[in-house]
A = this chain, B = another copy of it.
């Protein structure tokens, strides 16, 4: 199962497997289940169920560690806080609702653009990319101001 693989990957990199780290990882994989993109605060709330005294600092340090180790991806949606997802479900991009903040995953990726970029700016060493499409999800279009407010 994914959690075991991920724990193994951490160990390989010489990272200590504290119970807090394991629980954060478990939540990223199981609670989020490829469906939600959790903010640090949401993760903190979930971890607190088992580790009532875990600090915000530990959540952030752990998430940043996971990002560095390639186990998590950081998503900056336009609602003021970073969100995180497990990185073991393959590379993908997002369709983000500007009202409710929820994100759906997209099955395609503009990777041909990387080649074009490499051609256009030869000296630049490309390490990653992000593609986001913004708009309003079906649910938020039904609510009165989902599609009609200009502010």
Q: Which residues of A contact B (CB under 8 A)?
A: 68, 76, 78, 95, 97-98, 104, 106-108, 110, 113-114, 116-117, 120-121, 123-138, 141, 147, 150-151
Contacts and interface: CB of A to CB of B under 8 A. Distances in A.
Contact of A133 (B95, B104, B126): B126
Nearest to A131: B131
Contacts of A128: 133-135
Nearest to A122: B138
- Nearest first, the 7 closest Cβ-Cβ pairs linking A and B are A110-B110, A123-B138, A126-B135, A128-B134, A129-B133, A125-B136, A127-B135
Contacts of A116: 108
B131 A113 contact: yes
A141 B124 CA distance: 9
By secondary structure, the A interface counts as mixed
Given A129-B132, A132-B129, A95 B124 contact: yes
Contact of A107 (B68, B120, B134, B137): B120
Nearest to A139: B123
A117 B106 contact: yes
10 contacts: A104-B121, A106-B117, A106-B120, A110-B110, A113-B131, A126-B135, A127-B134, A127-B136, A129-B131, A131-B132
A125 B141 contact: yes
A131 B130 CA distance: 6
